[in-house]
Copies of this chain bind each other. A is one copy, B any other.
């Protein structure tokens, strides 16, 4: 490991690779180099107009990237948190060894609070904390653990989280694929694709899987105001993959359903409570209501790391409020009186009763009941 006391702006000798281009697979975030390396990520705020890769060499820049949505999507934020913990270890290594774990945990806790609603960030950071703690406690009582040893273990752990997320997405794709109607239409919301995960996606995974099997279908992508992840990210990544995609404004979803253009809705999730209530991007709840009104099955796709079994029901999930400027001045364009009040929740909660099934890497939870959730997800890491 490089000297942990080097400033966090230290730049590794190896040129950061473009995660977009690695063997043709779209990966929004990765770690480059050894323990002295850094996080590389696509700045998703600039897509699709610009593909810029940014590097995070300290936890402050990771926190900032999560906060301003350069990386977004609960699973991808989880991966950011996992890799961020390596940077936390580097920062915590500055100082006496006996205080390392305390400093490390404090930095991790700050990182985990970058956004409040998604489950994966806390889940991943906690897993990294447990890993660090297990090494520290297993060290001989006479000598505190070597920061180099800890950092290397954390890098392995973070890579495992990344690889497990990718594998979970592939499994979600296989379980969800039979739902995709041949010759029909599917609706999705926000971006729960490759850009929201380590790779491949959650809600989009069944579509990619169906596409790879030669099935023909059309995806209706809701643009997802205020930050337009559906227009900027989902339309872009589906087009890039050769999937037939039609972009609509969020307020057109009901009409598309009424015209029977879609036979299925699949969205991602940011946190799922023990009873199956699902927090996801604001607008998901309304979409689920509209799907019910049109008798169209509404599915959620998420890995087990998005479940939070410590929360019994959705009303206990904290909902992030965002800056009204995201509504009033989208992308720098003033579209409303400057001083007008806005209400800007970033998420809503879809009650389990509106969800036909939850597609996980272990199978589909259906019907969505506390017992079925417990049976499928009962043992969280």
Contact = CB atoms under 8 A, between A and B. Distances in A.
A263 interface: no
A88 interface: no
A307 interface: no
B252 A220 contact: no
B327 A248 contact: yes
A235 to B, nearest CB: 5
Interface residues of A, number: 56
Nearest to A350: B254
Contacts of A339: 239
A222 B331 CA distance: 19
Contact of A252 (B228, B245, B345): B345
A336 B247 contact: yes
Count the copies: 2
Interface stretch (A26-34, A69-77, A98-106, A280-288): A280-288
Contacts of A250: 225, 249-251
Nearest to A253: B286
Given A223-B336, A337-B235, A285 B256 contact: no
A336 B251 CA distance: 17
14 contacts: A48-B337, A220-B343, A235-B337, A236-B337, A239-B337, A239-B340, A252-B344, A253-B286, A254-B289, A255-B285, A258-B285, A286-B286, A292-B293, A331-B335
* Smallest CB-CB A-B distances: 7 pairs: A251-B283, A254-B286, A225-B249, A231-B336, A250-B251, A255-B348, A235-B340
